Amino acid sequence: TSPFAWLRTRFYYLLIRLYFDQEFSVEEFTRGAKQAFSVVSKLLSQRKLDLLEELVSAEVLQVLKEKISLLPDSHRDALAADIDAIMYTTEGDVRIYYDDDGRKFVSILMCFWYLNGANLPDEVPSKAKVFQIVFGDENTKEKKHLLTANYEFQREFTEGAKPDWTITRIEHPRLLE
């Protein structure tokens, strides 16, 4: 992350605390985002899309239903991220905006790097297999892939709106396209 981007996100977090939610905590949000990412990615890999209705926007859910049905099993397995397998998390972008009706929104794009032991074929493009890591000795070696995913979380801060974060974008580069 560039120093400018880091400062920009910290400025937006300050605005969120000052004008929208005085108890907003970056650390708490990040913990919740990691947990949501793990749950949603596992449900995606298991094709349990009906369980995502409260977590994911209707538009994203519709696109996911089309894409998941076309995925090979190895790609679908690679979507799942155990919370303990998340190696690194960072915010990609923070936005504060108002719609035409005057409703207030905050969106935070989170980027996740996670290890997954799915049996991905060699022809998977290199962007999906950033690294292959081998654990163990010759007899018990286990190959893992370091994969990336981007999830955007949105919350409406208009008075009277539900205080829930909703996932409005899901990207698993080269796996879920």
At residue 44, what is the residue type? L
Q: Is the residue at 84 inside a domain? A: yes
C-alpha 49/C-alpha 47 separation (Å) is 6
Domain coverage including residue 38: 3-112+148-171
Q: Is the residue at 176 inside a domain? A: no
C-alpha 15/C-alpha 17 separation (Å) is 5
Q: Is the residue at 107 inside a domain? A: yes
**125-to-13, 118, 143, 147 alpha-carbon distances in Å:** 36, 15, 17, 12
Q: Is the residue at 117 inside a domain? A: no
What tens-digit pLDDT sequence spans the chain (177 residues)? 688 988 999 999 999 999 999 999 999 999 999 999 999 999 999 999 999 999 999 999 999 999 998 999 889 999 999 999 999 999 989 999 999 999 999 999 999 999 998 887 655 444 444 455 555 555 556 778 889 999 999 999 999 999 999 999 999 998 887
Q: Is the residue at 124 inside a domain? A: no
| pTM score over 0.95 | no
C-alpha 128/C-alpha 149 separation (Å) is 10
C-alpha 175/C-alpha 72 separation (Å) is 9
Q: Work out the angle at residue 145's Cα, subtended by the Cα atoms of residues 139 and 148, and round it to the nearest 5 degrees.
A: 165
Residue whose pair of structure tokens reads 């999830």 in the numeric block: 151
Our count of domains for the chain comes to: 1
Residue whose pair of structure tokens reads 């396209």 in the numeric block: 177
